[in-house]
Amino acid sequence: KARTVLLATEKAFAADAVSKIEAVTSAAGYKLVRLENYKSKDDLLKAVADADAMIIRSDKVDQAVLDKAAKLKIVVRAGAGYDNIDLKATEGKGVVSMNTPGQNANAVAELVFGMMITSARNNYDGTSGFELVNRSIAFYGFGAVARAVHKLAQGFGMKSFAYDPYIPAEKIAEMGATPVATVAGLFEHQYVSLHVPLTDETKASINKALLMKMPKGGTLINTARCEVVHEADMVEVFKARQDFCYLCDVAPDDKAAKEAMAAAVGDKFGKRLIFTAKKMGAQTLEANDNCGVAAANQIVAFFEKGETRFALKA
Ligand code: 3PG
């Protein structure tokens, strides 16, 4: 019987990307089942029963999903961050998990600059803003996304700084950024851009002490995960500093937290606080293609050749 690949995306890919995914799965003789824009977890629980493989985005794969997934062998997160997969649970069931690192890096990097320019030009409200040239940007985490932002920053004539606990300082310097020795050291720069995964260590780690250290016009850019920022502290920082900006692609799910931040800013034109309506960093045709096709290829290579290069560990 042909293998079934379930494309379970609460936030759908562009139609063109889905066609390309289907071209990969059908060339392998697999059946692609689409569960896009689904509204309830029950829909996912029903759909997963027949799946040998799953392609997901930020969709949660937890014990409840795995309990219904009798045939599942592999789940691929079409994207970078995999905090939505319970890796202990997948490992416990012998299901392989993968991500597709780097595939949406350029899309996120372009959004970072979009938000920076919107903020620097006062959300185009007619008042005088400022230019990015000669300004400093510091990266917390220097993986594929941060490097793509760094490349654009070089084009803008900005100075880059970076801290990454897993990358030696010499390598950071080789890539044209100035290595920074500590997380706190990043917050001496006007822009700090977050590119860390959500882990026990990073959760709520961006706090008031760090944010209050930032120089005049200090701007935090978060295209990582909202949970990395200490939300109550963020409200206090907005109240204490009229110059501070938060540009965020990942608005808190918690409506009250979001409203508390907006009230503390009182910023009618959206210069100091930018929230996207839904996480938009990877929401481009190109990134959808790159991530989706990579995920489909990884599934085929796994079944046909036992390829596990991008397998994740708990
Ligand atoms: C990622 O980690 O790759 C991004 O956050 C993209 O998430 P999305 O697929 O839900 O847009």
Q: How confident is the model at residue 250 (pLDDT cuts 50, 70, 90)?
A: confident
Q: How confident is the model at residue 211 (pLDDT cuts 50, 70, 90)?
A: very high
What's the CATH number where 296 sits?
3.40.50.720
79 and 126 part of one domain: no
**Helices and strands in the chain, H and E counts:** 12, 12
Q: In this structure, what are the phi and psi dihedrals at residue 166, rounded to the nearest 5 degrees?
A: -105, 0
121 and 230 part of one domain: yes
Which residues 6+ apart lie within 8 Å of 312 measured at CB? Answer: 82, 85, 87, 97, 98, 99
Which tokens go with 2? Answer: 């042909």
pLDDT at 180: 98
Residues 233 and 263 sit within 8 Å (Cβ to Cβ): no
Which tokens go with 128? Answer: 């005088």
Ligand 1 centre to CA of 173 (Å) is 28
Residue where the block lists tokens 């701007």: 219
- Per-residue pLDDT tens digits for 165-198: 999 999 999 999 999 999 999 999 999 999 999 9
294 and 263 part of one domain: no
Q: Is residue 311 part of a domain?
A: no
Ligand 1 centre to CA of 146 (Å) is 15
CA torsion angle 50 54 55 57 (round to 10) = 100
Ligand 1 residue neighbourhood (C-beta within 6 Å): 11, 57-58, 79-81, 104, 279, 281-283
Residue 3 to residue 182: CA distance in whole angstroms: 48
- How confident is the model over 240-263, as a mean pLDDT? 90
47 and 145 part of one domain: no
124 and 230 part of one domain: yes
CA distances from 8 to 18, 117, 293 (A): 11, 34, 14
pLDDT at 127: 94
Q: Is residue 20 part of a domain?
A: yes
Closest CA to 73 of 56, 90, 85: 90
- How confident is the model over 226-238, as a mean pLDDT? 95
Q: Is residue 59 part of a domain?
A: yes
14 and 37 part of one domain: yes
Q: How confident is the model at residue 9 (pLDDT cuts 50, 70, 90)?
A: very high
- How confident is the model over 141-149, as a mean pLDDT? 98
Q: Is residue 176 part of a domain?
A: yes
Provide the number of structural domains found in the chain: 2
Which residues 6+ apart lie within 8 Å of 159 measured at CB? Answer: 134, 135, 136, 137, 178
Which tokens go with 250? Answer: 């990942």
- Kindly report the protein residue whose alpha carbon is nearest to atom 9 of ligand 1: 57
Which tokens go with 13? Answer: 């890919």
Write the Ramachandran bin of 123: left for phi over 0, alpha for psi from -120 to 50, otherwise beta.
Answer: left
Which tokens go with 106? Answer: 């350029």
Ligand 1 centre to CA of 156 (Å) is 26
Burial of 180 (0-12, 13-18, 19+ CB in 10 A): buried
∠ CA 109-115-117, nearest 5°, is 105
Q: Is residue 313 part of a domain?
A: no
Going by DSSP bridges, is the β-strand pair 31-36/159-163 parallel, antiparallel, or unpaired? Answer: unpaired
Ligand 1 centre to CA of 130 (Å) is 30
123 and 87 part of one domain: no
297 and 244 part of one domain: no
- Per-residue pLDDT tens digits for 19-53: 999 999 999 999 999 999 999 999 999 999 999 99
Ligand 1 centre to CA of 126 (Å) is 34
For residue 79, the ligand 1 atom closest to its alpha carbon is: 3
126 and 226 part of one domain: yes
pLDDT at 26: 98
pLDDT at 196: 98
Mutate to test the pocket of ligand 1, among 11, 21, 58 (most ligand atoms within 8 A of CB): 58
Q: Is residue 310 part of a domain?
A: no
Which tokens go with 178? Answer: 């100035």
Ligand 1 centre to CA of 81 (Å) is 6
pLDDT exceeds 80 at position 257: yes
Query: Which stretches of the chain are assigned E, i.e. beta strand?
Result: 4-9, 31-36, 53-56, 74-77, 96-99, 136-140, 159-163, 178-179, 191-194, 219-222, 245-248, 273-275
Q: Is residue 235 part of a domain?
A: yes
- Per-residue pLDDT tens digits for 278-314: 899 999 999 999 999 999 999 999 999 999 999 999 9
124 and 243 part of one domain: yes
Residue 34 to residue 44: CA distance in whole angstroms: 11
To the nearest whole number, what is the mean pLDDT of the chain? 96
117 and 235 part of one domain: yes
Q: How confident is the model at residue 67 (pLDDT cuts 50, 70, 90)?
A: very high
pLDDT at 267: 78
Mutate to test the pocket of ligand 1, among 194, 279, 288, 310 (most ligand atoms within 8 A of CB): 279
221 and 99 part of one domain: no
Q: Is residue 314 part of a domain?
A: no
Q: How is 151-171 classified by DSSP, letter by letter?
A: HHHHHTT-EEEEE-TTS-HHH
Closest CA to 142 of 111, 103, 169, 117: 169
Which tokens go with 15? Answer: 């139609």
User: 16 is in which domain, residue-wise?
Assistant: 4-103+283-305
Q: In this structure, what are the phi and psi dihedrals at residue 95, rounded to the nearest 5 degrees?
A: -95, 130
How much of the chain, in percent, has pLDDT values that exceed 90?
91
